[in-house]
Structure 1
Amino acid sequence: MACDKCGKEAVVLQKYSGMHLCAHHEIEDVERKIKKRMRQDRMVVPGDHVAVAMSGGKDSAVTLSILFETFSMRPDIKFTAITIDEGIDGYRNFSIPRVKELCDKLGVPHIVVSFQEEVGCTLDEMLTHERKEASCTYCGVFRRTLLNTTARNIGANKLATGHNLDDDAQTVLLNVMNGDTERLARLRPSRPQEGLIPRIKPLMDVPEREVALYAFLKGLPFHMGECPYARESLRGEIKDMLNDFESRHPGTKYSIMRGFDNMVPCLKEKYPQVPLTKCEICGEPGIKGVCQGCKLKERIKIIGKPPLKD
């Protein structure tokens, strides 16, 4: 197949657009989408210190790479990479070196924060306790808290994550299937909240498949393994379902997000943004009373350090 733009050998068929693209034009198209979104939402402005959440996977590698390439000549804009080490044996220990490799190449400071040191035990240890929730509940709550706390402590005023189009479409469907329309409204916050570092998602208009291809074409170091706990969650099933629909009905993921964005004004009217309060135990921002992180710590009995043993 030939590229529809230049006639060279194509490396991808975008079924949703009908375009065959060569390596050069695929890279150009991905960067166009990302930069358009960053301009549209004013994601990075003069004087920003952007913390970049780095898991070591393709999405975070592309996020840091394109942010650095776009703004590296701006001395008033600073980047710091933050990796949360959940303590997943055979997974995170392979991905962290990829983050370090990319950060060393770009000259970006890299901070690693571990569950073991900050929460009291590793995720693997947490999941040995009797529990009702999926592993992603524990991981997600503690990871979000540590990312926010670390970004705030280093003086960052933005937190960039590698969420792509697939991730956002899955999140919308997940909340619809859970009947949680109020949480849907929170996906597009109206204003900053005290103590909560605003998040930016430069990849939100790029399909996961194209993010992966871009990372390969650019020669970025990243870890290709999947979290061993990923398939425990409903999100994994939704991901498979969405990919099946996208294969049979190209453009489904874009349509979901367009429909969601059209609903946002109505959602915000019904569910206005609630001011956050400080957790009664740890002081981190939360909805009310005790934050979810402290509730989970109590539930799995790991408030003390070192973690309690059976």
Structure 2
Amino acid sequence: MSPTPCMRCHNNKAIVKRPKNHHKVCRDCFLTIFEDEVHHTIVSSRLFHPGERVAIGASGGKDSTVLASVLKTLNERHNYGLDLVLLSVDEGIKGYRDDSLETVKRNATQYEMPLQIVSYDQLYGWTMDQVVETIGKKGNCTYCGVFRRQALDRGAKILDIRHVVTGHNADDVAETVLMNLLRGDLPRLSRSTSIVTGSSASEVKRSKPLKYAYEKEIVLYAHHKKLDYFSTECIYSPEAFRGTARSLIKSLEKVRPSAILDIVRSGEDMARLTPDKGQGACGCDEGEGVGGCGSANGRSSGAELAQMEASLNNQPGSEGLETEITSNEASNGDGSVRLPIRHRRPKEHTPAPLQTLGQCVKCGYMSSQDMCQACTLLENLNKNRADIAI
């Protein structure tokens, strides 16, 4: 059996089957396509401006390592004019973060980028090992998430940088969309689906250049580029609720490869209905151009249901196949069933009060409350520590 040729260059042997759309391509074409899609995401979303200093949130894992490699390549290829710096957070997890930080240090040398490391111990007086020892594994990701976000902001402030990019990929965004739906937290959809977070009132802007890149394709890119990254997962993460959403998405992906991007797109559409009007959808070419999400080839027109209904109506004898549901209590003689309607009093719609951004009374970090989330969590930890001591 002759080898399958690359569907892009038609010359080399296809060795990569893209998880995103099952296209079979050669190594060089896959790397080029991946980089072109990230470039399109950056350009269409206007993530950067020439001369901007940008901190890359580096954990040593595959996502941040690929992000650093791709940004360095694209910065040189397309003359972005960026000053790139690696910013890493040491959560204080022995056997995990201390090892991954060694990878980050090697990356800093390989990519010729400065490296800044900030730690939970220095910022908060607590390591994650101590947090888990105090509160247990259940709920520890809430503490780590809040501490990490603030640590990145503080690290950026030390570097005098106002833009941090993170390695969140399409799988991460899809998981967050599902988590917010399962929790019924629609207002948070806007922030979770936007490719850029932060506002004019925030000190640090964050963006996700890999928002439309599949996790599996990131692994393939790292493999074929022979990148140096740390592959062990956090020892405390299996207890997180995100793991449940991840398992569900992986099951959906087996049945429908485009399910991940479909969920991301659905989240973007729903975010537009929330009060803060979510933004950040990729400006993809709907035709044959390269799209940041790479989904133009498999995207539906959005009119399938209308087309199916028209097709059914045109079939002879289709009238007897349907039962019409109406809103009255009585029954018609034409086969329709009338159902009662529950009447409710119309609610008076009052605009929700807008939060004003101030500063935490304890640490000075920006917050809409008297105390920021990190300081509130730290108070609980210190109280638990005092109770244990007694």
The reply to whether TM is greater than 0.5 is: yes
44, 47, 50: which one pairs with 1:46? 50
Residues of 2 paired with 1:272 and 1:69: CA distance?
A: 45
Residues of 2 paired with 1:308 and 1:221: CA distance?
A: 44
List aligned pairs for 1:88-237, cutoff 5 A.
88-130=93-135, 134-187=139-192, 188=194, 192-237=199-244
1:193–1:275 Cα contact (<8 Å) kept: no
Equivalent residue letter for 1:230: S
Deviation string 1:220-246 (CA, Å, 9 cap, x unpaired) is 110011111111111011111101100
86, 111, 131: which one pairs with 2:91? 86
Q: CA deviation at 1:302?
A: 7.9
Give the equivalent residue in structure 1 for 2:322. Answer: none
Residues of 1 paired with 2:11 and 2:67: CA distance?
A: 29
Give the equivalent residue in structure 2 for 1:246. Answer: 253
Unaligned runs of 5+ in 1: none
Equivalent residue letter for 2:175: Q
Q: 1:37 and 1:209, CA in 2 relative to 1: closer, same or farther beyond 3 A?
A: same
2:189–2:270 Cα contact (<8 Å) kept: no
Provide the secondary structure at the position in 1 that maps to 2:229. Answer: coil
Q: 1:239 and 1:191, CA in 2 relative to 1: closer, same or farther beyond 3 A?
A: closer
Greater RCO, 1 or 2 (C-alpha within 8 Å, sep 6+): 1
Residues of 2 paired with 1:115 and 1:102: CA distance?
A: 22
My pick for the range that moved more, 281-290 or 55-64, is: 281-290
Deviation string 1:19-49 (CA, Å, 9 cap, x unpaired) is 1122111111211111000001111111211
1:87–1:124 Cα contact (<8 Å) kept: yes
Give the equivalent residue in structure 1 for 2:41. Answer: 37
Deviation string 1:152-192 (CA, Å, 9 cap, x unpaired) is 22111210000000001111111111111111122337862
Q: 1:162 and 1:271, CA in 2 relative to 1: closer, same or farther beyond 3 A?
A: farther
Residues of 2 paired with 1:103 and 1:152: CA distance?
A: 20
Provide the secondary structure at the position in 2 that maps to 1:301. Answer: helix
Q: CA deviation at 1:60?
A: 0.3
The answer to whether 1:61 aligns with 2:65 is: yes
Unaligned runs of 5+ in 2: 278-350
Provide the secondary structure at the position in 2 that maps to 1:89. Answer: coil
Which of structures 1 and 2 has the bigger CA Rg?
Answer: 2
Deviation string 1:190-216 (CA, Å, 9 cap, x unpaired) is 862434311111111100000011011
The answer to whether 1:295 aligns with 2:300 is: no
Equivalent residue letter for 1:161: T
Q: 1:120 and 1:190, CA in 2 relative to 1: closer, same or farther beyond 3 A?
A: closer
Equivalent residue letter for 1:19: H
2:19–2:217 Cα contact (<8 Å) kept: no
Q: 1:149 and 1:113, CA in 2 relative to 1: closer, same or farther beyond 3 A?
A: same
Give the equivalent residue in structure 2 for 1:9. Answer: 13
The answer to whether 1:284 aligns with 2:384 is: no
Q: TM-score, normalised by structure 2?
A: 0.73
Provide the secondary structure at the position in 2 that maps to 1:228. Answer: coil
Equivalent residue letter for 2:24: H
Residues of 1 paired with 2:44 and 2:265: CA distance?
A: 15
Q: CA deviation at 1:308?
A: 10
Identity %: 31
Residues of 2 paired with 1:104 and 1:237: CA distance?
A: 37
Aligned length: 308
Residues of 2 paired with 1:210 and 1:97: CA distance?
A: 24
Q: 1:271 and 1:79, CA in 2 relative to 1: closer, same or farther beyond 3 A?
A: farther
Q: CA RMSD in A?
A: 2.5
Q: TM-score, normalised by structure 1?
A: 0.91
Q: CA deviation at 1:137?
A: 0.8
